[in-house]
Amino acid sequence: MAEDSNRSRLGRGLAALIGDVGDEFAAQTRQTSAGTQKVPIEFLRPNPRNPRKIFNAEALDDLAASIRERGLIQPIIVRALPGVADVYEIIAGERRWRAAQRANLHQVPIVVVEADDRVALEIAIIENVQRTDLSPLEEAAGYEQLIAEFNYSQNDLAQIIGKSRSHVANTLRLSRLPASIKQLVNDGELSAGHARALLTVADPEAVARQILTQGLTVRDVERIAQRDTQGEGEGGGNRRAARAKPEKDPDTRALEQALEEVLGLVVSIEHKANGGGEVKVRYKTLDQLDNLCRRLRG
């Protein structure tokens, strides 16, 4: 029970570490120094377990320019490496560390904490997810690592990162995509919504090529998946479906996709001639409904 309580408090603990809320961070890690200190930048080492693997060069240059002008305001969270003097492993803040090198900083502010591998990985995932810095596939890889190494359930992960269980489940599903599609997602050519929709089609790589060449929307891919499931060919069944449900305008589809990304559920928006309309949110389990209600109340 104590461990479960600590897990659910870690998100707020991270905020405390970077100065947002009191001393909540003590629930999960113990700070070993008197607040922030500065150390030579070469004393820091990247964490090989960091879920974030992609660092955009242009974004790093922008951050480096800001650091040169204003300095590195937010400290980098680190832990001491056992048996190695004056060397620290980065838990959260590797992007800032890389940008600081580009800005030719000689010293950087750090906060040293005691954290085992599990807590270090949790903090790294939370910081990146809260800042939307992780790609969907990096997020999925981080979740898989916690599940494989520390026997986390999807409920545990949902509590830690402050997302719905359906969001965690949908993100984990991305790991099943072919390598070629994962690369397209990492390169920003396919959205996470497209990637999730591709999981349900018979030939995801062929449909991915259609997305790139024809500009298919997520709804278009979902309709292809539905046809695959029903075993319909290119004949009359598809034409009947097209007549039954007219194509939505791009703005409506974009809004549906944005809501789906936030809620982790299928959203449908229907406009009516009188200027009104309906927003439908589809859930499959009572847990999904409970999560939706909590979000709406919040």
Are 170 and 196 in contact by the 8 Å Cβ rule? The answer is yes
The set of residues, in sequence order, having a beta carbon less than 8 Å from that of 59 and lying 6+ positions away, is none
- Residues 109 and 216: their CA atoms lie apart, in Å, by 46
> What is the SS3 assignment for 115?
coil
- Let me know if 42 is a catalytic residue: no
- Residues 28 and 4: their CA atoms lie apart, in Å, by 11
Q: Catalytic residue among 94, 139, 256, 260, which?
A: 94
- Residues 295 and 163: their CA atoms lie apart, in Å, by 10
- Residues 92 and 75: their CA atoms lie apart, in Å, by 9
Element (DSSP H or E) covering residue 146 = helix 136-150
> What amino acid positions are annotated as catalytic residues?
94
